Structure 1
């Protein structure tokens, strides 16, 4: 047995012996317990079973959290699924195509990934109801197409870009569990951060009585003239989402469209690190066809982040930002903050991301770290 196989076996055995998530079978949510709900009729990109994660808090506040996990935009990327097995083998993974065991391990077992999801009392969001829309389709949660490709061994395969159907199935459960939230926060990281403004209109419409709404995207910036084609042809996103994608900046397009739909009904938030390592890596793939981090790419992304902030500020509604320079263990800029330990512990100008977000959902919005943006 190879080393990666031993590691994979050990991970599965540990998860079985010490379960963190409880299977939700009868829809009876006990407070302050994390559950996973398997959804019949839904599928991950690799046709694996699909589930969502949910926790009932001790309040009527609701966080709808959009999980990230890469993307697939063509046949080459489709050939690089990011199953836990492949990752342990050191193979390139462009996108998550299974939610278990990888996502459960990532969000609930790695000690550096706690943040907004932790039940610890020092988390201002511990009392919130949290519904996590899982991700395993490589399509920013908006796809509606089965994509045919040939795998590394020359065999025909299908990547199920069914993110939108999975999201809608999750939303149906969320509205039943938490029908009347007093506060609604729609947030997400990475691919989920791109999804936030794309699907926020659907979420807000599902809670028509809730007037206290905040949307927050964490770590999203990727530029390409191909976005309109990818969204319409590769992913076949719903028309009401696809029609808003018109430029090389898909996040700004999604937010522009959302602002046109709901105006100032929501507070608009964005956080990101300058020279974000993962975003730099994927941007290099778009620009030069290589999925790799480079210092030159990071410098380019820093300047692109400045431009994106300016574009979001120009959308005609109050938009507020948390810009950071948090580092990974390798010294490069951290990707994703909401579910990381730096959400509680990291600080810019003496303010943690948790404090900034908690203030925002309670009506006190402001910017942090704007002086870190390259000029």
Structure 2
């Protein structure tokens, strides 16, 4: 039975993760409050840490939408509020506690990542984790408001605290879902700077394709990202630009993976807003997403030699029969371990990749004719 919002909130409060005090116990999740760090609306920010029993580490960036202008800034996603929303507000932060045992974080015996240490970079700043400033805007009622685009500050504050409790990892996986996938591509090199002695690194964004001709301006003037972050944005494809920049800096010293569904329903809907000004999901937009994804992958394969791709076509839930939207993200989803393409799961593909066997799965999905 589907839970109501009130039931989810109650469950989250019942399972609330404790703040870290002292040294962490192995296998236990902790909230890491970050002094001075704030969410979009000014509430205190926290991230998460789990110390594993193996000498490997996952740094995972959370998703939660994005704000690109005054209109989107004025419409955060608040619990119980309906209508157009574009990014997660701080009152959704408590729900993070419920996903700490899902997907790549699952502790079941068949999850090969189960004993790795984990840093989960939670997110409620609408800036793909790269923001450094305050954006002033007018609320729908005309009153002045401010969106604290502090994603980068929050991430750095979390990392500064979390790494004190971890030994240098033998393997490092930098990943993220949705907005977190953009963050992983933008900040992979930054994450690596915390572990200069780790030479076995993999970067894997999950579901990150949005085309916009103003990304550099948004990153520079609205999010107030550091110059090295916004200056690398030259095309319509922000994730592609950040992945290109990562390869230009690190070359083949790290392993590159990328996963997405071929007509991602959520990204298609946001793309419709960018293109037409409304949050709608149409058949035409889903099919256009598939074309855009093929173009992005063609460039990734040409410019990042050795990158591994994993594509899926699982239908998104709640789709009208005429709308061929597909599932948005799997890394932090119950479907993470389920076989999908040629009997291979996203979990098995990622595990092979981080261990040096990088391959493609599902590329043929982009060459089928839509009926």
Superposition TM-score, scaled by structure 1 size: 0.92
Q: Does residue 359 of the first structure (1) align with residue 347 of the second (2)?
A: no
Pair 99,188 (structure 1): closer, same or farther in 2 beyond 3 Å = farther
**Pair 1:60-2:60 in alignment:** no
In the alignment, which of 137, 146, 165 is matched to residue 153 of structure 2? 165
Structural mapping, 1:128-147, within 5 Å: 128-147=116-135
| 1:94-113 alignment, distance < 5 Å | 94-98=86-90, 100-104=92-96, 107-108=99-100
CA shift, 1:150, in A, is 1.1
Give distance in 2, aligned partners of 1:118 and 1:32: 12
Could you list the runs of 5+ residues in structure 1 that have no partner in the other structure? 1-5
What is the RMSD computed on CA atoms of the aligned residues?
1.7
**CA–CA separation in structure 1 for the residues paired with 2:117 and 2:102:** 16
1:93 aligns with one of 74, 85, 96: 85
Q: Could you give the per-residue CA deviations for residues 27-47 of structure 1, whole angstroms, max 9, x where no partner exists? A: x21122221111111000111
Maintained 8 Å contact 2:175/2:206: yes
Q: Deviations over 1:298-337 (max 9, x none)?
A: 0000010000101111224311100001223324411011
How many correspondences in the alignment? Answer: 361
Q: Which moved more, 1:34-43 or 1:325-334?
A: 325-334
- How far apart are residue 236 of structure 1 and its match? 1.2
Q: Report what 1:243 is aligned to.
A: 231
User: Match of 2:76?
Assistant: 81
Deviation of the 1:102 alpha carbon: 4.7
Runs of 4+ in 1 over 6 A off after TM superposition: none
Distance (whole Å) between structure 1 residues aligned to residue 193 and residue 199 of structure 2: 11
8 Å Cα contact 2:96-2:122 kept in structure 1: no
Q: Distance in 1 between matches of 2:75 and 2:351?
A: 38
SS in 2 for 1:314: helix
Q: CA deviation at 1:132?
A: 0.5
1:53: Cα distance to partner?
1.4
Q: Aligned to 1:253, what secondary structure does the other structure show?
A: helix
Structure 2, unmatched stretches of 5+, are 320-324
Measured against aligned partners, the alpha-carbon deviations of 1:193-228 in whole angstroms (never above 9, x if no partner) come to 011121111111211100000000000000011111
**1:232 counterpart (196, 220, 236):** 220
Calculate the TM-score normalised by the size of structure 2. 0.93
Displacement of 1:242:
1.1
